[in-house]
Amino acid sequence: MAKGKTFHNNDTETETETEWSDHPGAKDKPAPKTSSKQKKTTTFSPDTQDTPVQKKSSFWPRLFWGNVMLFGFFTIIRAGHFYAACLVIFLNTMMFKEVLSIKRHMEKDRQLPFFYLINWHFFTLALFALYGKGLAERCTHYFPKAQFFEFIYRYHYVIAFLGYVLGVVVFVMSLRKRQYRYQFRQFGWTHLALFLIVLPSSAEVAIIYQGIMWFLYICFLIITNDSWAYFFGILFGRTPLISLSPKKTWEGFIGGMICTYILAFVLIDHLAQYDYLFCPQPSLGIELFADLTCERPAYLFAMHEFATPQFLVSLGLSATFTMSTLQMHSFVLATFASIIAPFGGFFASGLKRAFKVKDFGDIIPGHGGVTDRMDCQMLMGMFCYVWLFQVVYRGASMVIASPEFILEQIALMSQGDQMLVLEELQKRLMG
């Protein structure tokens, strides 16, 4: 320990003990001497390789809980859009908790009553800012006369802004001497976690309501790429891919990419055959195991003919081949899932190395924490949302509203606004 000077408002100087790791000149200072009688502690090294016994002992728990998660996942997907969205928000909450725990100092939190709750205030507020308006709009499908949801819908941004200001005020009032650095670090860490976790999750919820097929599809792509990259890496891996993940190899990376392309091409048209998976959900979708019907955009299923590369023709393949528009989009999504999305996992690996932890948590036996399983999914969900909104549906509204939903919205308007809608609709219908 070293003696550091702390200045207070009364311009007097007191000496406090400060760890060298927090001191600006820490790297130039000698390490404090420790007694040989002191107990030696060991920390996890990210480069530590599991022994064959450890790998074997963790295989069966991983297999069992992997199957349990898959069964639960498919059950929730079929239950309805609302329940799939709740699953995403639940996983989102668990990830936020795990990431906060990395930087949390329990002893300091005990000295700061209710400070930890401020982080969850910002988390809850972020959920309201991202989901509140859409939730209020969809709830009018079930409660068309409820003034509460109309109030939330109209003043959503005002409420969110005032809630954030309240959080900042409470944070400033909670600041305590000798805890400033820790408290501001937690403040910044919380906002970084909101940006990296909550924002991408909101994109996945939007994808679910646009068509649960897209959410299911990108989950399949990530699982396929990760599984086959692991398989090819075990069998043929020789060339390291990136130092952040010593177990990743170029052979596994390329093998996973090829398998992802094959699955993406075959799976997209198969999923699109089912109305429940393909159709957007205009309401909240709380009905269990309900079916959906909709009119399918013809341009997504249009077939296009392409010339086969000459070297493949020389191998005996046909001179031309056909692809649907959906399959063309699947090629783009598969490319992102196999080349770019793994960097979400590398980012998480770097974060774990920085804080010397093996996993973000231990909630899933044999798999670690929720963040360990969802790191690539966050990046993939954001890209899928952008691609759907900007390209696949050609800038149209992400959710195609039903006539009943539109009529419910018109019923909430004033009589003057309703007359304006009627006049505009007559003009457009009359040509």
The secondary element (H helix, E strand) that includes residue 4 is strand 2-7
For the stretch 287-301, pLDDT in tens is 999 888 888 888 888
Predicted TM-score of the model (pTM): 0.78
For the stretch 312-327, pLDDT in tens is 888 888 889 899 999 9
With H, G, I as helix, E, B as strand and everything else as coil, classify residue 229: helix
**Residue 225 binned pLDDT confidence (cut-offs 50, 70, 90):** very high
For the stretch 75-107, pLDDT in tens is 999 999 999 999 999 999 999 999 998 888 888
Q: According to the model, what pLDDT value does residue 330 have?
A: 95
For the stretch 174-212, pLDDT in tens is 999 999 999 999 999 999 999 999 999 999 999 999 999
% of the chain beyond a pLDDT of 90:
45
Q: According to the model, what pLDDT value does residue 393 have?
A: 86
Q: Is the pLDDT of residue 27 over 50?
A: no
Class of residue 219 by CB neighbours under 10 A (exposed 0-12, middle 13-18, buried 19+): middle
Q: According to the model, what pLDDT value does residue 78 have?
A: 92
End-to-end CA distance of the chain: 82
Q: Nearest-CA neighbor of 219 among 9, 48, 70?
A: 70
C-alpha–C-alpha distance, residues 131 and 133, integer Å: 6
For residue 297, report the phi and psi dihedrals to the nearest 5 degrees. Answer: -65, 120
